[in-house]
Amino acid sequence: MASTPQPVGRFRTLPDYPLAAIPQKKRELAARGVDVIDLGAGDSDLAAPVGVVEALTKAAATPALNRYGFGLGLVAFREAIAAWMLKRFALRIDPLQEIVPLIGSKEGISHLALAYLEPGRLAIIPEPGYNAYQGGALLASGEPYRYALRPRTNFLIDLDEVPDETLRRTGILYLNYPNNPTAAIAPRDYLARVVERCRELGILLVYDNAYSELAFDGYVPPSIFEFEGARDVAIEFHSLSKTYNMTGWRCGWAVAAPHIASVLTKVKTFVDTGQFMAVQAAGVAALESYDAFIPGNIAAFKARRDAAVSAFRTAGFACDTPKATMYLWIPLPGEIPSALFAERLLDDEGVVVMPGSAFGAGGEGFFRISFVTSPARIAEAAQRAGRVLASMGAEVG
Ligand SMILES: Cc1ncc(COP(=O)(O)O)c(C=O)c1O
């Protein structure tokens, strides 16, 4: 009799991925004729820049760009990234030594842990937070130390609250501001302090800047490298996904000083053979279209944000106006469990939202919506959510 191969304990520590069950459920509802509004994943319905699509088409028909990219990839993409980092953050980055092209930033974030964690080494992980942090840490056999992001600390990780013994064993601190899912932003003096602490403690600061270009009302998110000493300890992740409505294209990059960038490059040498170079050519077009494309795109997201804040408030929810990201992180009144609320909202009203608990226990008491459809549809979703809130409020009360 055959015996079944069993995954090891490390695999069994992985929680279920929160979005995994949604597509099937959506199909079932749509088949029943329900008008589903999906505000779950941070995956906008807006179009990528036209010039980017043209650049991809042309590059895909170029035989030299159909070959392996390897770690180096398309030098023009590295140069376009360096030019953009200079323009946007006034930072001088060596295109060959200090940039790692990535197949989406998630890929790099999770693979990096393989080099900086092992059994007994901790990763400080914001909870709620993007799933690649704990996924990468667990797959690397590291030990997650979950820090609950709550209004109490303005959704910031206060390292003074982490025990010294924990800090001594910490290999990685994951930070993400502007933040998914809470939409919080980090004050500059906070970031300067965190860099200083990471330098004292020898902790790798993984700064996830996926939302650096989705900001409103004059707020300009910084790069972590604007803070003194960051080059010693930090690696920063960027992505075309949210900035240019290019989630499916899988195109991002990391920036770090050579002693850190080379580590990620080496890990990737053994797990992939480089990003499709035609996508990197399209990435060049995206970065070069920054000035022409971004203002209109931000205006579209701002209209969605404003519609969302106004409609959810009218529907009975308390929510702040976020200065950045494509999310609202909405507190649930009373003791309504977020998973139950999200389930009822989907089953009774056909609206997909992310329950806070899907991001871990630290997210309980909230739910997240994404600005991934039109202002009118977001407003319709808010009305439906208001009906569920009223009925559950009545039940709970
Ligand atoms: C905080 C954060 N970081 C990284 C990513 C991953 O982006 P990419 O599409 O570049 O893998 C996301 C995507 O939702 C995100 O929310």
Determine the pLDDT at residue 20. Answer: 72
Per-residue CA distances from 110 to 96, 137, 207, 276, 334 (Å):
22, 7, 13, 19, 36
| Residue carrying the six token digits 């501001």 | 177
Nearby residues of 281 by Cβ (< 8 Å), 6 or more positions away: 55, 56, 58, 59, 62, 65, 74, 76, 77
| Residue carrying the six token digits 């701002």 | 302
- How many whole angstroms from 158 Cα to the centroid of ligand 1? 23
Per-residue CA distances from 51 to 54, 120, 121, 229, 291 (Å):
5, 48, 45, 38, 13
SS3 148: strand
Q: Are 178 and 215 in contact (CB under 8 A)?
A: yes
Nearest CA to ligand 1 atom 5: 106
How many angstroms separate the CA atoms of 225 and 121, rounded? 25
Global pTM value: 0.96
Task: Please list the pLDDT of the chain residue by residue as tens digits (397 residues).
Answer: 789 999 999 999 998 766 677 788 888 888 989 999 999 999 999 999 999 999 999 999 999 999 999 999 999 999 999 999 999 999 999 999 999 999 999 999 999 999 999 999 999 999 999 999 999 999 999 999 999 999 999 999 999 999 999 999 999 999 999 999 999 999 999 999 999 999 999 999 999 999 999 999 999 999 999 999 999 999 999 999 999 999 999 999 999 999 999 999 999 999 999 999 999 999 999 999 999 999 999 999 999 999 999 999 999 999 999 999 999 999 999 889 999 999 999 999 999 999 999 998 899 999 999 999 999 999 999 999 999 999 997 675 5
DSSP string, 90-130: -----TTTSEEEESSHHHHHHHHHHHH--TT-EEEEEES--
Nearest CA to ligand 1 atom 13: 42
Determine the pLDDT at residue 19. Answer: 65
Determine the pLDDT at residue 302. Answer: 98
- What angle is formed at CA 39 by the lines to CA 35 and CA 43, rounded to 5 degrees? 115
Pocket of ligand 1 (CB under 6 A): 42, 104-106, 130, 176, 180, 208, 210, 239, 241, 247, 252
Using one digit for the tens of pLDDT, what is the confidence trace for 227-255?
A: 999 999 999 999 999 999 999 999 999 99
Average pLDDT of the residues of the chain? 95
Determine the pLDDT at residue 259. Answer: 98
- Locate 128 and state its tokens: 């709620």
- Locate 240 and state its tokens: 């075309």
Q: Are 174 and 149 in contact (CB under 8 A)?
A: no
Identity of the residue numbered 142: G
Mutate to test the pocket of ligand 1, among 17, 105, 272 (most ligand atoms within 8 A of CB): 105
For the beta carbon of residue 288, count every other beta carbon within 10 angstroms.
17
- How many whole angstroms from 290 Cα to the centroid of ligand 1? 19
- How many whole angstroms from 195 Cα to the centroid of ligand 1? 22
Strands (DSSP E) along the chain, which ranges? 37-38, 99-102, 122-127, 143-148, 170-175, 204-208, 234-239, 252-256, 327-331, 351-352, 354-355, 366-370
From the number of C-beta atoms within 10 Å of its C-beta (0-12, 13-18, 19+), residue 295 rates as: exposed
Q: What are phi and psi of 135, to 5 degrees?
A: -60, -50
- What angle is formed at CA 292 by the lines to CA 290 and CA 297, rounded to 5 degrees? 80
Determine the pLDDT at residue 26. Answer: 87
Q: What is the DSSP letter of 324?
A: B
- How many whole angstroms from 279 Cα to the centroid of ligand 1? 17
The upper half-sphere exposure of residue 110, i.e. CA atoms within 13 Å in the direction of its Cβ, equals: 13
Using one digit for the tens of pLDDT, what is the confidence trace for 308-319?
A: 999 999 999 999
Using one digit for the tens of pLDDT, what is the confidence trace for 107-128?
A: 999 999 999 999 999 999 999 9
SS3 198: helix
Determine the pLDDT at residue 233. Answer: 98
